Structure formats: C-alpha cells, structure tokens
Structure 1
Amino acid sequence: MCWRSVLCGGVFVIAGKRGQKDDWDIYSFHINSTVTSRYATTVITSRVANRMNESKEIEFHVRIPKNAFISKFRMFIDGQVYDGVVKAKEQAQQQYTEAVSRGESAGLVSSVGRTLEEFKTSVTVAAHKKVTFELTYEELMKRTHGKYELQIHARPMQPVSDFKVDVHIHEEAGISFINVKGDLSTKALANAWVYFYPTVNQQKMCDSCSDQGMNGDLVIVYDVNRDNGLGHIKKSDGYFVHHFAPSDLPRVPKNVVFVIDQSGSMRGRKILQTRTALFHILNDLAEDDYFGLITFDGNIFHWKRELVQANSKNLESAKNFASNIQARGSTDINQALLQGARMLNDHRREGSASILILLTDGDPTSGVTNLENIQSNVRQAIAGKFPLYCLGFGFDVNFNFLEKMSLQNNGVARRIYEDSDADLQLKGFYEEVATPLLTDVTMIYVGGTNLTQTNFSQYYNGSEIVVAGEITDNNIETFTPQVVGISVRMDSQYSSRVWAYLTVKQLLDKELQLSGPEKEKVKKEALELSLKYSFVTPLTSMVVTKPPGENTDVLHKPKEGKTPQRWQPPVDQSFSRQYLAPSIHLSGSPIGEYHKHKKTEINEMLHNLYF
C-alpha cells in the first residue's frame, strides 16, 4: 500500500527476480512512526523468507522524504546483525571501489521525485532462510497552511500476513485537531495513535492490485494548541527547541512582483499552466496589497512600470495581460530580476512586506549569462531587504543555480513538476507566502548558545519558526527567550537531535552560498555533525555491511540534478470502496472508527492523488 506528508512517508519495496512471484515471501511488514514535538522518527521493518531450494537475491528499495536523513539501516541474517555505517563520502567511496576491484558488483540506484528520494540495496538469502530489513529515518515536520501533514507510503507488492502500521503522535501543547483523510477530528488532546492492520484479504481488495498487494496513500493531518504568545519551548538534556507560530496577529499588507519566463522553452503546457496559476493568484490579492507583473524572454515586458494597488480595475487589467503571455525567444534572467527588484525598492511602504517571485524553466541565454555574476547582481539589488523565491519549472532547469540565488536572498527554491496539477503547485506555493504576519523577526535567547538560525525576514500565517540550541551550562534558571519582530501593531535526547538536524540543514544551505576557506570551514562543521549523529546527508554516505562475499553498497543522499530520472506515480492509487480504513485513538480512547461498508467516505480517504 502507498500512503502521503511533511513526514512524506517512504515507499518500501522488496522484490526478487521479475516474473518469479513465489521466490520469496514477505511474511511481516511493519511501519512504526513516532512524532514527538513535530520531530518524526520512522522505522520500517520487513521480514522476508526465501521459500526456494536455492539462494535468491532479495532487494530492499525504499523511498523517503527529501528533507529526511537516514540514521540507521540494519539486516538480520541467521542471528547475525549487519549494520550500515555512516561515513564521509570519500571513505565510503573508497570502500565501494575496493569491493568493485575484487570483482564484486556494487551500486545504488537513486532517483529524485517530487518529494521522495530512493535508496536501494540487496542481499543474497540462502535456501529456506530469512532476512529482516530495518530502516530508520528522521525529519523535522514543516508546518504549512496551518497544519502538519504526515504521509505514510508503502508498497510490499504482495499481500502480507502480518501487516501493521502504527503512528504515535505526542505533543505537550496538545492536539487541536487531527484528520485521517476523512472527517475525524477532536479538540485539546495531547496524544494520538493511528493504526492500520489490514488482513490478507483486505490487501487484495485494491482496485488494480489483485494478488499484487496494496498501493495507496494514508495521510494524517494535525495541528497543535497554540497560546499565541512566545510559543512552545521544550527543554531536555541541556538543549531546547522553540516552536513559534502566532496566529492572532493582523496580516501585513504586501508588495509582490511576479517575474515570469516566457522564453521559447515555456511553450505549450507550461505557459498555459502559468497563466492559470496567475489568474488564481490575482484573485487572492487583498485590496491593500500592491503588485507588479514582469514577463521576459530576451527582452523585458512590464504590465506597469510601477507597483499598483490590487483593486478590481487593476486586477482585471492584469488578467488580460496574463492571458496574452506568449512563449518565444531567449532567456534574460539577470535583467528581469533586476527590474523586479527595482520596482520593489522604489515602492517601499511603511508596515508592509515585499516579496519577489521568479518562475523560469531554463538557463540564462541572453544578457548576462554567467551564473555567479547574475547571483552577485541580484544580491546587490535586493541588499537583504526582501526575500526572493525561485520556482524552477521542470527537470531541464538549473535548479542548483536557483536554489543558491534564493538562499542568498532569504528565500527558497522549489521545483514545479510539469504535470496535470502544475498550476495548483504554483498556487499552493504562493498561498504559503500570501499572508505575512511579521517582518524582520529576531529570536533572542539569553542563556542560550550554539543556536540554529535566529533571524527571519518574514513570518507567514500557517507556517512556523523553529529554533534549537544549547542551554548555557544547562542552567534553566538563566534561560530567557525573546521574540522581536515588526507587525502592523508593533515595532517573541529529543532536543539534541532536533538541534543537530536543524544545524546540519542550515550549514548545508550556507555552504552552498560560500566559496574558498569559508566554504570548507562550514562544510567541515556539517560533516562532523552528520557523522556524530549518523545522518546520511550530501556530505556522507552509508556503507551497508553484508555477510562475507556479498556485494557492498554505498547509500548516498542524491542532490537535485539537471536531468534526473523522473519519478512516476503508480498507475492506479485507488482502493476498493469496500476497503477497511485505519482507526484512530486519541489520548487512549478510540473515536470515530470507520465502518467497513461506508463506501463513499472510505474511498475518499484512500483514493489519494500523488502529491
């Protein structure tokens, strides 16, 4: 079965040779995910038996969230435990090379999908023997649109007699609501347990699976209670984690400029989807917002030279402009972004938040084409005054270039996937930044040290700021948090791993922006932390230890490539309307259990589009 999150669950597949369905038997398949204060640790355990009279190669194939770090992998064979070991990439590569030089085949197949990464290894299992695979990965869940979304995704590819999924959510602040792709909800709870134990027959009721087992997504959506003050601070073993997400603040009016690539490569579906998304976005602008539209190919085209108010007359005119966008010509990203930055710099409004959004699908081909020069020009033009968000359309775009430029300007880069819902992806991203509540946010911790990022250009409604650090001398008495920001009203064991996770992620972002000795220094810090906490990151790999004579695999965390293999969703993710749904227990009490024959509700819950 497949399921869907900000803990975007993994796909887990074990397979022998194609066409030999009876070579192996997955007799137990368990997924256990524990979320503690928004930090998710997921363990996937599968037990496989070789029922044949000869040795068979069994493959372990797992998809995990892109933002997750694998922290443990082990195999149990004949009473022996074989652990994967996280090493620096160079050391891991050396071990891999030595295995190849001995004539042993070794390798990893990995690809980049929309939200998942793939890891693969295999082991030979003797006749009538068993092997247990156990994978652990960790991720800090990100709050978007006012909720956390936990995705569980699994495809055993055959019915399993012992199939169990357990998700335990522990939140000290209490759970304000929780849904399992249906109408289940509750108030003011501290703990939740969602379980799914389908029988073999139920696993065969998937519309398109028959004897091939299950294929679908289970999505758990929840949020926590909030006091709208300083937020929730968890202290443990000399560390702290601070979750800050006030929602009772008035929105800050925004100034937003959309810079749209209309070069020849955007022709067809991409430009149609861009137009559709722009219509949705323009409809969502508030009347106290100001906005601008720039399209570009080898030339720059302004709808208006200056920002204008989002009143009905201007919005109608902007929609007419958007409907006439035509793909043609080359790509001058440098001049387009400089023009967008100029418009925002020329229209500074007290008590407002400015945002620059770029949508492109290719490399710069005219004007300034040197990537470092473009990044330098844009950084000087923005000068830290507002964030730049870069949306890369498709797989041909130079995503590393966009990512670095966004990070240098307090923004993020996203890849927009060219499929039937690309316009919804664009609209969904915009909605994440559509309602700023605070600008120039600084998190101050008297008595805190080794802090993760503490300065944020803007805080958006429905999101969350997370800061972690150490408490100086473990003295809680002297530890005092403060939050300083600007709104329209004014001028606020677990802990150590969250701190390490955030620190490594932020060091990797920083390393991307630097060069020379500074880059090496930051890279070294990130590597040391990755090794200390056994995280598989872009700087480390996991060497999979196997029985003597077995192939040696090195599991890498892939980076966004220029033209990676595209992940394709399963052909059919729908479930039979007679399917048994998961049950949910909150604070130890069962509530809202679905009935087996409530066909419509069950189908809505399990028939889930792929992201």
Structure 2
Amino acid sequence: MDSVKLKFVVIIALCFGVIFAAPADSKHSLIVSSTESSNRETNNSLKINSDVPRIYQMHVKSNISNRFARTTITSKVRNIVTKSLEAVFSIVLPETAFISGFIMEIGGKNYTAYVKEKEEAKKEYEQAVASGLGAAHVAVSVRDSNRFTISVNMEPQSKAAFYLTYEELLKRGNGYYEQVINLHPGQPVKDLRVEVLIAESRKIVDLKAPPLRSGNEIGNENADLDPRADLKIIDDKTAIVRFNPNLERQKQLAHLLGTNEDDGLAGQFVVQYDVERDPNGGEVLIQDGYFVHFFAPTELAPLPKHIVFVLDTSSSMEGEKIKQLKEAMDNILGQLHTNDSFSLVEFNTNAKVLDLNNPNASVWYPHESNAYNYEEHSDEINFEKYTFPNAYLADSGNIKKAKDIVSKLIVRGGTDIHSALKVGLRLVELANSRKIDNINRQPIIVFLTDGDPTVRITSTEDITYKITTFNVGLRRSPIFALSFGELVDKEFLKKLAFLNAGFTKHIYEAADAALQLRGFYEQISSPLLANVTFKYGPSVTSLTKTNFPIHFGGSELIVSGKYGTNNLSLPIIKGWGAAGDVHLQPLVIERPASNIERLWAYLTIKQLLELKEVADTNMEKKIKKKALDLALRYSFVTSVSSLVVVKPNSTDAVETEKASSQDEEEDYDDGFDRFGGYQPPANHKQQVQGGEPTPTLHTTLRPKLPSTTTVTSAVAEGSSKYKLLVTALPWLKNVLNMNGILNLPSGGYKLGLNETITDNVDCLKSPIFLIGHCSLLHNCPHVHSLLTSLNVYNRHACILRNEYAGVCCPDKLFYSLLQL
C-alpha cells in the first residue's frame, strides 16, 4: 500500500483580482504553508505542532531573464508522528502571475497537474464527486483570489513534496523592477532558502534586497528587517541573490514582523534592480521569430500636468476614511511640481469645484444651493451657466490654501459619481482653452470614492458610457480610480479607468492608507509622453498593444509580437513631449535572448483578458477563445483556465498538444491578412443545415440576397473599391438608394469611396472595443466580417463631415490581438 492514502481529484481555479496589501488584522494572508500551528512538542530544540506534518525543506528558486521571472517553490514535508495527518500546501501568488506547473510527489509517484478550460475542469470535478471520489474544489475570497491551495492525507512516518511553478513579467515602477516572494511556512524550517538568478541583456544596476515586508501595511523600511541577503555579481549582466536564514534568524524576523516566533517567518522577500537604458528608443530583443521591445526613455523632460482631484465626501466617508483622505492629500499636494496646475472637486449629493481664493463662493453642481439638496435633472444641463474657477498653479501659496481647505472638508449626503467626474472633465476642457502661462499641460483625473453611486444616475454601465463619451470629445484625460472599503464596486471602477486610459488601485482601510495613496501618486507624478505610438515594419504580426495614451517616468512600455523571415526593422516611436512632437528609434536590435515567446504569450493573454471585460457581447466569446487557446498552448492558469490534479495515467496528455495544433492552423487562416485587409481563407467553406449557412469560427452568417439591385453608377459600381466593399459587405449593395446614398436613422449619407479623410475623430462602440476612431467604411477593412447586416452596422456607424457614412474603427494593430 502507498505510504499516503490518495484518492481524489483536485481542481484549482484561480480568479485573478487586485491585491495591494493584506488587512491589518490578517497575519496569515501571505502563505507558502503546511497548515496552522496549535499544540506543540519539543523535538531537536524546535516546538513542533503534533497535528501537522513537519516541513523539513522549503526552497524558492526564481530565474529572471529579460524581466520575465519563472519561480518554482519546493516544499517537502514529513509526518513524524504515528497517526495520519493532513498536509496543506498553500501560496498567495503575485497579482500578475500565472501558474504554469504543479507536481506532487507522493509515495514515490509523481502526480502532475495539467491546464484545462475552466468549465471543463469544473465538470470533471463534479463527475469525480458523483462517482464517489473524494474531491476538493478550492474556494477563494476576494482578497485571496490569487491563492493556490491543495491538501493530501499523509500516513504515519511518510513524506510528501510539492513543486509549484509560476511566471510573471516584472513591472517597472519608480525606476526599478521588483520581485516579491511571499513566504509563510507556518513553522520554522531548518532548510529555508530563496535563490534569485538574474540574467539580463543589459548591465544590471542598483541591485538590492531591501528589508523584509509584512505584506499587510506600507511603512518606512526597518533596518532590523534587513534579510542579510548574499548579493553576488557574476558579471555585468548576471547576478545571484540568496536568502538563507537559519532557525534563530527566522524567529527574530518573525518577532520583528509581529508574528509568533513558533509560527516561523511570515513576510515578503523582495529583490529590486534596474538595467542600463538606451536613452531614446528603448531596447528590442529577438528570438526565433518573436521580439519584445522595452521602452523607458531617460532623457525626456517631464510634461507639465493639470491634475484634477475628485474627492468623495459622502456620508459613508465618515470617520477614519475622511481622516485618511485628508492626510493623503496633504502629502500629495506637497509633491506637485512648480510648473503643474491643479483643481479640487468635492462631491457627495452634488459636486463642487473648490475656490481657493474664496471658498464660500464655490458653486455646487448640478444643484447650486448646497450639498444636501437633491433633485432629478437632465443629463444635458448646460455647463455655460456655471462659473468654475480656473486651475491653480502649484506654487507654495496655492498649495497652502488647498491644504487648509481640504483639512476642513466634512462628510454629508449621497454619492453622485457621474456629476463629479463630468465636472472634473469640464475643468480639463476649461484648462485646455484658458492655458495658464500659455503652457500645454497633460490632464490627469484622480478619482477617489468608497461606495457605489446612490444619487441621480446609479447605473454603473450608464456612468461608464456617458463619462467615456464626454471624455472622448476632449483632449482625452486619463482617469485613475482609487477605491476605499469593501462595499465599493471594483469591477465598475476597473472598467471605467481602463476605458479612459487609466488604472485602479484599492486603498485598504489600514493605518497606512495615506501612504498607499502617496505611493500611488508617485507612479503618475511625472508624465513624460502623451499619445505614444509604436510603428513596426510590414513583416510584424500578432502585436500586443502599440498605442499608449500616456507614459510616466520610472515606468516602462512593453510591446511584443512576431516577425517574418526577414530581419526585424527598427521601429519608430512617436509621441508628444514637453518640447512638442517626439520621434524616437532604438539604436540596435539585440540577439539572442531567451523566454521571448513565453513573454509574448503572457502579454497577449493579459491584454486579451482585459479586452474581454470591456468588449461588446458579440466579441466576448471570440476573445475568450483566443485567450483560452493561448493559455492551453503555453500551460498558463488564468481566469479562463484551471489546473486539474488526478492520479497518474488517468488522463490524456495529448489534449494540450491537440489544442496547440488546432490553434496553429487557425493562426494563418482566419480571413484577415496581417495589415487589416480581408482575404477569404483558402479553406473557407459554408456548412449547410436545412438550406441555410451555419457560422463556423471563420464563417459569417449573411442574409440572403434578393434577385435585383437598386445600385446605379452613382457609387461607381464598376470601381475596384466598390467591388471589394460589396464583396466584404454583400448586404450593402441592397440598401443603397438610386443615388448611391446609404440611409441611416439620422439621414442619408455617401460612402465616400473616392474620398480621403484623415480627420482624427474619436467615437464609441467599435465592433470589438468601446473606443475607436470614425473611418470611412472602405478604410476599415479589418471589421468588415463583423458587420453582418445593416442593423449590426447601425450600432457602430458614425458620420464624417456631416455627409459621409463611417464606422467606429478600432486600432488595427490592437485588433491584431484577435488574429494570432
């Protein structure tokens, strides 16, 4: 009989959420664990819990190559008592990580996990339960949504080992890369070791291992928590960092971190470093047909900015929250640069732009009397009747006035998020037209709230749509959303920020909330470029995101893709900087490099999953399938895939290979060329059921054409552009009138086949993405297969110069994410 009783199917489904810090009262939120500690007995000078197996070895080994980290955690346990015990292996992953491998070694046998589609994995679990097998489906809380947990029953005097591998792209912030490794064995471990091997393509600089962190709260670095890591520089581009605390040091660190010494070390081991930079166009690395482009220019002056703080003072901010907000604003206002400008918006039931020179003259919107009054109103209230103060220069006098006003804010009323953000964007519009000192400033909205909308427009979908619409019509301002408390709708804020070129950060209600906000602001305090675009040669395909509304100093933009048989040509980066238009280019393309293909897959999956959350319903399934196909091909556990652990030889390992093979075929035959033009696939065949075509992955269901047509020479029926257009959009030929005019709900419009319109007009509701630009139909071929009828087209139509029918066209480079 095996030394461990093992009869189960375990499915680990990870739901990736945002984890910023652990709650103040949670001492076990960062876990690489066997189990909790209780009754103890002495053994070799260690107090060991007799109810849990003993961890005799825990090794964490991370290999970082080109900022891409592959980390393996090994935990070996022994049941030293004469009764069966449960061993639990649990780990909280970095929020950006994907699990890519898991093996259990039980009784001399290996049990290897594999990745399956989440719903399929769930069915497998349910079948195991129905057949009488013991099964465990791991449930996770919101806060612990990145947690991986599995347990086995161990026979007396037996051993078990767990090996978990995860991968992540290290994010650059504040001028360095940072890898955070969560450690909490739950007991002192005789052989506890962390080893981080860094192999970069450029010279490593500023390598360090800062003091250990609790993971719960941000604070000043405590020198007593110095890990005393061994930093060994192999050469300019290679280094090894080792952390190997003995039992006594583990107890000291546990005490300093505020946990029970007998529970062992509980904290975060951190490695920070940066690399030497190409000061202009960044560095491009290539390997086997894949490339990655790292862009972090060092010689650009910061853009002056106009930052609008939108502050929630509704009743739910009562107590500690409003106190923390005031402390945070006191810190942040002090960090503004002298050539910046700023505005303050307070909101509750109504919104008010704070007048620094005469606070009593500040006017509430949309009800002018005071914060308490509430009445329904049309969304089309004319802003012209409201006199809002200009933005204020960030000089010492105005900062002092602002701090004084913020310190006197009081809480009251409901939460009108729509009016608050609309007022904030109106201030951006006014600042752009008034231009203090004739300086163009980069607008930024920092929006802080602790609750759901409760006043006037309460639909989060409506607020997202209306605010994004209003923002499209301006010089687009990024919106950064910060949330307080557990009642806030994080998904709403995430979508709102994503669609408005920003991001979200949850601020936990701990003693360090002000520091959390301050740390967030440091990330966005120095914008360097706006409207950044990466342009690559014609051989490049399957690009990740190439357009970035804003780039901040200390961070990094990353683009990855595939290139053809020819050498990759040097890309061009365009943007708007402090001195005007900027054109940059890398100096050299470097080879060889490792991990580039997996890095590309990682980035692509991440961006597909983001796109899935905001895409139209008719595109969500296709985006999900693309993400799932890649996750299966590269064995990444994501929000659309799960790990399944079963007994050896009871599953078919060929399944993943089959998915990979099928995906390769789809890669080249999806009906789109790599430049956005439609080309019918060579194997394009319609399947017929009951006389009607049924759509397949690449086949579009189109209406039956009538036997006659009303199109005349008014649309140049014989022209090549017309033929191509009606081939791609066969319904179009039957809805044009005798004069070649397309009738839409708002009137009749021309196709403009012979027109060249380069107007940069933003629009909403492109066929795959909420935001796009209005383009003539023939100039946006990469969405033709999605416009299956006049009704579908009407949902995405837009008008150019009041006379031409267009379509809301997504960026074709971003669209290439769907054409892998």
TM-score (norm 2): 0.63
Please say if residues 57 and 123 of structure 1, whose CA atoms lie closer than 8 Å, have aligned partners that are also in contact.
yes
- Judging by fraction of residues, say which structure has more strand: 1
Q: Which residues of structure 1 form unaligned runs of 5+?
A: 550-611
1:308 is matched by which residue type in structure 2? Y
Give distance in 2, aligned partners of 1:464 and 1:388: 19
Aligned to 1:199: 246
Q: Could you tell me how far 1:546 is from its partner in structure 2? A: 4.5
2:246 is matched by which residue type in structure 1? T
Give distance in 2, aligned partners of 1:521 and 1:195: 44
Give distance in 2, aligned partners of 1:417 and 1:546: 41
Aligned to 2:181: 152
State the Cα deviation string for residues 335-376 of structure 1 (Å, max 9, x = none): 110111111022225642111111001000001111111011
Distance 1:32 1:330, change over 3 A: same
User: Is 1:111 aligned with 2:111?
Assistant: no
Q: What pairs with 1:457-468 in structure 2 (closer than 5 Å)?
A: 457-468=549-560
Aligned to 1:78: 107
Aligned to 2:415: 331
Aligned to 2:317: 266
More divergent stretch after superposition (300-309 vs 39-48): 300-309
User: Is 1:482 aligned with 2:533?
Assistant: no
1:513 is matched by which residue type in structure 2? V
Indicate the structure whose relative CO is greater, using CA pairs within 8 Å and at least 6 residues apart.
Answer: 1
Please say if residues 10 and 65 of structure 1, whose CA atoms lie closer than 8 Å, have aligned partners that are also in contact.
no
Aligned to 2:353: 302
Give distance in 2, aligned partners of 1:67 and 1:79: 33
Give distance in 2, aligned partners of 1:17 and 1:357: 44
Specify the SS of the correspondent of 2:137.
Answer: coil
Q: Could you tell me how far 1:385 is from its partner in structure 2? A: 1.2
Which of 193, 209, 212 in structure 2 is aligned with 1:164? Answer: 193
Distance 1:105 1:450, change over 3 A: closer
Q: Could you tell me how far 1:221 is from its partner in structure 2? A: 1.6
Specify the SS of the correspondent of 1:467.
Answer: strand
Which of 125, 137, 140 in structure 2 is aligned with 1:96? Answer: 125
User: Is 1:189 aligned with 2:236?
Assistant: yes
State the Cα deviation string for residues 39-66 of structure 1 (Å, max 9, x = none): 1111000111222334322111111111
User: Is 1:495 aligned with 2:596?
Assistant: yes
Q: Could you tell me how far 1:245 is from its partner in structure 2? A: 0.5
Aligned to 2:168: 139
Aligned to 2:618: 517
2:543 is matched by which residue type in structure 1? L
1:266 is matched by which residue type in structure 2? M
Aligned to 1:66: 95
Specify the SS of the correspondent of 2:187.
Answer: coil
Q: What pairs with 1:237-386 in structure 2 (closer than 5 Å)?
A: 237-304=288-355, 305=388, 306-348=390-432, 349=435, 351-383=440-472, 385-386=476-477
Specify the SS of the correspondent of 2:579.
Answer: coil
Aligned to 1:555: none
Q: What pairs with 1:502-541 in structure 2 (closer than 5 Å)?
A: 502-541=603-642
Which of 438, 454, 469 in structure 1 is aligned with 2:529? Answer: 438
More divergent stretch after superposition (398-407 vs 86-95): 86-95
Aligned to 1:597: none
Please say if residues 150 and 219 of structure 1, whose CA atoms lie closer than 8 Å, have aligned partners that are also in contact.
yes
2:619 is matched by which residue type in structure 1? E
More divergent stretch after superposition (427-436 vs 314-323): 314-323
Please say if residues 301 and 528 of structure 2, whose CA atoms lie closer than 8 Å, have aligned partners that are also in contact.
yes
Aligned to 2:540: 448
Q: Could you tell me how far 1:308 is from its partner in structure 2? A: 2.2
- Matched positions, count: 541
Give distance in 2, aligned partners of 1:418 and 1:531: 38
Please say if residues 11 and 64 of structure 1, whose CA atoms lie closer than 8 Å, have aligned partners that are also in contact.
no
Give distance in 2, aligned partners of 1:307 and 1:180: 42
2:292 is matched by which residue type in structure 1? V
Q: Could you tell me how far 1:16 is from its partner in structure 2? A: 7.3
User: Is 1:48 aligned with 2:77?
Assistant: yes
Specify the SS of the correspondent of 2:431.
Answer: coil
Q: Could you tell me how far 1:515 is from its partner in structure 2? A: 2.5
Q: Which residues of structure 2 form unaligned runs of 5+?
A: 1-18, 23-28, 41-48, 211-225, 356-387, 585-593, 651-820
More divergent stretch after superposition (121-130 vs 171-180): 121-130
Specify the SS of the correspondent of 1:235.
Answer: strand
Which of 179, 185, 209 in structure 2 is aligned with 1:180? Answer: 209
1:225 is matched by which residue type in structure 2? E
Give distance in 1, aligned partners of 2:618 and 2:183: 43
TM-score (norm 1): 0.84
User: What's the Cα RMSD here?
Assistant: 2.4
Distance 1:94 1:17, change over 3 A: farther
Specify the SS of the correspondent of 1:173.
Answer: coil
Q: Could you tell me how far 1:540 is from its partner in structure 2? A: 1.1
Give distance in 1, aligned partners of 2:104 and 2:614: 38
Aligned to 1:14: 34
Give distance in 2, aligned partners of 1:540 and 1:359: 33
Give distance in 2, aligned partners of 1:392 and 1:445: 38
Aligned to 2:273: 222
Q: Could you tell me how far 1:74 is from its partner in structure 2? A: 1.1
Give distance in 1, aligned partners of 2:165 and 2:422: 45
2:425 is matched by which residue type in structure 1? A
Distance 1:62 1:390, change over 3 A: same
1:521 is matched by which residue type in structure 2? K
Q: Could you tell me how far 1:109 is from its partner in structure 2? A: 3.8
Please say if residues 109 and 119 of structure 1, whose CA atoms lie closer than 8 Å, have aligned partners that are also in contact.
no
Please say if residues 176 and 186 of structure 1, whose CA atoms lie closer than 8 Å, have aligned partners that are also in contact.
no
1:307 is matched by which residue type in structure 2? A
Specify the SS of the correspondent of 2:492.
Answer: helix
- Structure number with bigger Rg: 2
Aligned to 1:127: 156
Please say if residues 241 and 468 of structure 1, whose CA atoms lie closer than 8 Å, have aligned partners that are also in contact.
yes
Q: Could you tell me how far 1:78 is from its partner in structure 2? A: 2.1
Specify the SS of the correspondent of 1:497.
Answer: helix
More divergent stretch after superposition (201-210 vs 254-263): 201-210
Please say if residues 527 and 540 of structure 1, whose CA atoms lie closer than 8 Å, have aligned partners that are also in contact.
yes
Aligned to 1:399: 490
Distance 1:186 1:255, change over 3 A: farther
The sequence identity of aligned pairs, in percent, is 38
Distance 1:260 1:186, change over 3 A: farther
